[in-house]
Amino acid sequence: LTVCMGPLGVGAQRRGTDSSGRRYNRIQHGQCSYTFLLPENDGNCREGAAEPHSTNALQRDAPQVEQEFSTQKIQRLEHVMENYTQWLQKIENYIQDNMKNEMVQIQQNAVQNHTATMLEIGTNLLSQTAEQTRKLTDVETQVLNQTTRLEIQLLENSLSTNKLEKQLLVQMNEISKLFEKNRFLENKVLEMEDRHRLELETLRTEKVTFQNLVGRQSNIIQELEKQLSKATSNNSILQKQQLDLAEMVHNLINLQTQKVGFLFKGDKADEEKKFRDCADIYNAGFNKSGVYNININNMSETKKVYCNMDVAGGGWTVIQHREDGSVDFHRIWKEYKMGFGSLSGEHWLGNEFVFLLTNQREYSLRIELTDWDGNQAFSQYDRFHIGNEKQNYRLFLKSHSGTAGKQSSMVIHGANFSTKDADNDNCICKCALMLTGGWWFDACGPSNLNGMYYSLGQNLGRLNGIKWHYFKGPSYSLRATTMMIRPLDF
């Protein structure tokens, strides 16, 4: 018996004989076919007593029929086949029922396994998704941090760029201003070059004129020498007159000496009175300007000074005077210390004598100024004295007043004296050498009454001339100056 399971249902039946002569009955049921081999009669079997038909006939062999009647046999076989068929149908139904349950169980198991697998896969996917999400979150955080840092750096770079742009604009403005200043200075330099060229041409012309004048004066001098020679040959009368004049002068000097000696007598008739300054001489009754002798403390000898008895009540001791440029004031330290020039003309009394004089009592200072138009002005200081040589004859002034400017053109307090060989000013340049004269320079400053003397027509635009800034400006060279001192209690 060959059985093939397939879909439920009964198909067609087929009968036949195989190659060995055995008969069979084949039933086709769906995709499965059932083949039954039919029993054969060998002639030795006899049919027994008839037995009632029962439901177990399928399990017993078919009874042998004594007579071979094909039809009856076939009917019996068909009946057997029907039993087989019913039995097969029951088996099939049983199989189908069992198969349904098993299939349902298998499907349920498969679904459960699939569900478990899917759950496991889902769990793994969720874990991987969570891990990937965490990694993405970390990456996103890093990207955000990096982006924030880049934004901060970009902002800082932007601020730095703005700052640099502002600085660049400022520098460009400064450069533009410098260009303008350079252009202005270049124009000034060109103007100065033109002016210097004109002055040089003027000097050349004046040089030629002076040379011609010197030539003419030489001729005149020669002529005068000839006339002098002629006059000398006939000067006996003049010589006699000269001797008479000399005798008269000698007599006048003796009389003056006697008069002074008489006036200088004190309690002791043989002791000469000593004058400390021109104020004492004025108070003694001498009210005419001129040269007098004074006695300064710590000096054994008398010192000749020029006394001005006319200006502002008189009694002034002159320490400096300029009027015609006859004396060169561009001198060394030692000469300014001891003094130089003529007391009745241009002179400098001497720093050492001024120091000794102003440290024996309190003095005021008066400075008389005259320009080339005849205008006069003065500056006066209520306190004036200078330090010793170790202190570089430092200047000390107080309480300025006068008509030569609302401000003082001299450094009020603490300026050192400088000369061309002793630079004591507060400038990296040498003011005394550059401005040609010894003076109390600070950083060159607004005044220098000992500068170069320039005559009329040449006195403008002279930085190294005799200047008093707040009277006529920094480049106007004055015609005449006088510095004089007097006791504060005069």
pLDDT tens-place string over residues 273-316: 688 899 999 998 898 999 999 988 767 778 899 999 999 999 99
Separation between Cα atoms, residue 170 and residue 180, nearest integer Å: 15
Question: For the residues 379-406, what does the mean pLDDT come to?
Answer: 91
Residue 44 has pLDDT above 80, yes or no: no
- Residue 468, both tokens: 């008093």
Q: What is the pLDDT of residue 389?
A: 92
| Type of residue numbered 297 | N
Q: Give the DSSP letter of residue 313.
A: G
Q: Confidence band (pLDDT; 50, 70, 90) for 49? A: very low
Evaluate if pTM is beyond 0.85. Answer: no
Q: What is the pLDDT of residue 327?
A: 92
Question: Between 215 and 420, whose confidence is greater?
Answer: 420
User: In percent, how much of the chain has pLDDT > 90?
Assistant: 28
Residue 368 has pLDDT above 60, yes or no: yes
Residue 6 has pLDDT above 50, yes or no: no
Residue 59 has pLDDT above 50, yes or no: no
Q: What is the pLDDT of residue 450?
A: 94
Residue 486 has pLDDT above 50, yes or no: yes
Question: Between 272 and 357, whose confidence is greater?
Answer: 357
Separation between Cα atoms, residue 350 and residue 340, nearest integer Å: 7
Kind plus residue range of the DSSP H or E element containing 431: helix 431-434
Q: What is the pLDDT of residue 93?
A: 83
Separation between Cα atoms, residue 380 and residue 214, nearest integer Å: 43
Separation between Cα atoms, residue 458 and residue 207, nearest integer Å: 14
pLDDT tens-place string over residues 195-237: 888 888 888 887 887 777 777 777 777 777 677 666 666 555 6
Question: Between 404 and 247, whose confidence is greater?
Answer: 404
Q: Confidence band (pLDDT; 50, 70, 90) for 9? A: very low
C-alpha triplet 17, 20, 23: angle, nearest 5°: 30
Separation between Cα atoms, residue 133 and residue 206, nearest integer Å: 105
Question: Cα-atom radius of gyration of the chain, to the nearest Å?
Answer: 74
Separation between Cα atoms, residue 352 and residue 342, nearest integer Å: 17
Q: Could you give the maximum distance between any two Cα atoms of the chain, in Å?
A: 231
